[in-house]
Amino acid sequence: MGMQLGIVGKPNVGKSTFFNAATDAHAEIANYPFTTIDANRGVMYIRTPCPCKDFKLKCTPHNSKCVNGTRFVSIEAIDVAGLVPDAHKGKGLGNKFLDDLRQAHALIHIVDASGSTDEEGNPCGSGTYDPLKDIEFLEKEITYWLFDIVKKSWEKIARQCELEDKKVDRMLAEKLTGLGIKEEHITSVLRKINLDASRPSKWTDDELLKLADHIRKISKPMIIAFNKCDKALDSLMAKMNDLKDYIINPTSAEGELALNNAAEKKLIDYTPGSNDFKILKKDELADKLLNNYQLCDSCLGRLFRQVSKGTTNKQKGELFRNNLKYEKETKDCWLCEGLLNEILHFVDIISDKLEEYEFDTFLIGSKIDEDILEREQELQDFTKSENTEPIKMEINREIGKILEKKLGKTVDFEKPNITAVIDTAFDVVNLQIRSLFIYGRYKKLKRGIPQTKWPCRICRGKGCKTCSNTGKTYDTSVEELISKRVLELTKGSGESFHGSGREDVDALMLGNGRPFVLEIKNPKIRNIDLSLFKRESNTHTQDIIEISNLRFSDKNEVARIKNAEFRKTYRVTIESEKPINKEKLKEAAQILLGKTIKQFTPTRVAHRRANKIREKKIYNCSIESVEDTRAKLTIETESGTYIKELISGDGGKTTPNISEMIDTPCKVKELDVIEIKGE
């Protein structure tokens, strides 16, 4: 077995599925990047007519196999880890990928024709990524890989060729021999691109890159497999016509693997790579299914989920019915009772429900009558089939396919803007709307305002005399002032405010502002003008709240800013009952520089914080001014430091503390956050 074929492509495009379908190996398959880490190796076959048919002889080949007059010639296949952009620089599993390709004589590039994976192989909405980009970047990565190998030794090679009168094509071949590249490859390329072989030291990097690109083309010829063609939009499949210089084949590796599995289980008679198959055990299948149940073609086809991928269940049902020579489809299906004929009706109901919402991606769910689900389970138990598709899945898929075309929107299985769930028994649609997240920073320019809504402690938000029936301790908050206009613009039903920490109610938030993420729940409008919102909000809350750095975000950023531990710089005005000793205060500031303090849960927050000792580092402490009983300090601390207690000591709960260090009880008169670092 001399020839080796590399199966290449970015992660998560179906390389391992293709490998399993084309060989007898069993590589791991999953819907996430880098499932394959170590190269899988197996034997695949090229189909060619076998002479045994012409000579009417029994064929017993030693280095291949013959199936029904078709000779399968063996080739070693290498399924390597996925390649991502900048792999030649070591990104992803790049170096390992490229090393695995060294001995491949030719390549099959598996491309996700459905456009449902981004450039790094992460799932995205079907049709949202251009598969032609993958061809360009993969060729570029292999070219740069070859270029880097040549470039490392190029000065030495060029000098030897000119001083020792050695042939440059032979020297390059010796350098690249471990990659399966031969001298004749390089000789052919040098002629084609017209490089002066007598003066290689004069070749530029651009010429070396061109040389590497042509060596790749001649030494690693490539076939493009447009995989997942059964899931691809017509517009994406049409892109195959734009690739004039490639051998291109539309493929469905998943479908081929399913047919191979069905043939292995003796369900069908199928020769790998054939255009059709033949159902086995006709009498048994007919007796179990069509003789015992009245089924529509769709319900029949769903029983053979892994057979003939790329066709609808209805088409599969028709195929089975015709092959088994049974009458045409029954109108009274025992299983679905005509439910599958109501797909267009469900589409109309969902379309009407979605009319008032703005969205780019969606997903369909359904609730099926329990009687139908019980009959479905009975049928599965009766046939003992492992390859059935639930009726719910078919309804969801068929509604989704129609709505994609009707609405011009994309089905997204990962993070849809809206999920519509249809109750098929009562024609009721429930919408699950993904929240809209907006990142920004805010400054608080007025004291006495909490960050978030603060329910009245007496009535807990219900409304009472103490809170003037507002249900709130404070009239407004940063959250309410920022979210009011956004809720109007998005027509959302509510919001949640997520800040990266919080300042005290009586503290100002200055400097570059505090990071926050505003979550809008159930928005009807998603694409709002953030510049307009910022301008309107800042005008409305002038001298109170100022927002900046707005951009759309996601739920992951909420966790990020919540868990972040940004350093904070404070300006603190402290006050004492007697004059403050400036020298002692300077000494205290010096001692605190780089000091780790211990803070037991402060008295003022003990009702809402766990009782424990927290260790916090003071990075910097400097004195701005000292005037009689007042002083102004600038303090830079670790996130979560209680500044007021650092000054007062809180009855010994924070040690060391400034009051203790200067032998004068002090308290914070004013506290401002002037910088949050690290964002």
Residue 356 confidence class, pLDDT cut points 50, 70, 90: very high
568-676 fold: Alpha-Beta Plaits (3.30.70)
Domain with CATH 3.30.70.3190 in the chain: 568-676
pLDDT at 498: 96
Q: Which of 374-388, 512-526, 561-575 has the lowest mean pLDDT?
A: 374-388
CATH of domain 4-223: 1.10.8.470
User: Interior CA angle at 486 toward 478 and 471, to 5°?
Assistant: 50
Q: Does residue 61 or residue 530 have the better pLDDT?
A: 530
Domain with CATH 1.10.8.470 in the chain: 4-223
**CA-closest candidate to residue 3, choices 108, 104, 98, 71:** 104
**CA-closest candidate to residue 507, choices 448, 586, 584, 462:** 448
Mean pLDDT in residue range 456-468: 87
Residue 436 confidence class, pLDDT cut points 50, 70, 90: very high
pLDDT at 285: 53
Catalytic residue among 504, 543, 554, 628: 504
> pTM higher than 0.85 for the full model?
no
Mean pLDDT in residue range 455-471: 88
pLDDT at 364: 96
Domain with CATH 3.30.2130.30 in the chain: 339-433
> What 3-state class would DSSP assign to 640?
coil
- Token digits for 447? 């004291």
Residue 33 confidence class, pLDDT cut points 50, 70, 90: very low
Asked if residue 625 has pLDDT above 50, the reply is yes
Asked if residue 29 has pLDDT above 50, the reply is no
Which class would CATH give 339-433?
A: alpha beta
pLDDT in tens, 113-123: 888 888 888 87
CA–CA dist 393, 514 (Å, integer): 45
Asked if residue 562 has pLDDT above 60, the reply is yes
Q: Does residue 367 or residue 52 have the better pLDDT?
A: 367
CA–CA dist 374, 380 (Å, integer): 10
pLDDT at 37: 40
Asked if residue 280 has pLDDT above 70, the reply is no
Asked if residue 502 has pLDDT above 80, the reply is yes
pLDDT at 325: 66
User: Interior CA angle at 657 toward 651 and 658, to 5°?
Assistant: 115
pLDDT in tens, 123-147: 777 778 888 888 888 888 888 888 8
Do the Cβ atoms of 363 and 413 come closer than 8 Å?
Answer: yes
Mean pLDDT in residue range 464-486: 92
Q: To 10 degrees, what angle do helices 253-264 and 15-22 make?
A: 40
- Could you say which DSSP state residue 162 is in? H
Asked if residue 18 has pLDDT above 60, the reply is yes
Asked if residue 10 has pLDDT above 80, the reply is yes
pLDDT in tens, 58-90: 787 777 777 777 887 888 888 877 777 776 666
Mean pLDDT, the chain, integer: 86
Q: To 10 degrees, what angle do helices 205-219 and 183-193 make?
A: 130
Report the run of H or E that residue 542 belongs to, with start and end: none
Residue 287 confidence class, pLDDT cut points 50, 70, 90: low
Active site residue 287: no
Collect all residues with Cβ–Cβ distance below 8 Å to 576 and sequence separation of at least 6.
Answer: 629, 630, 664, 665, 666, 667
436-563 fold: Alpha-Beta Plaits (3.30.70)
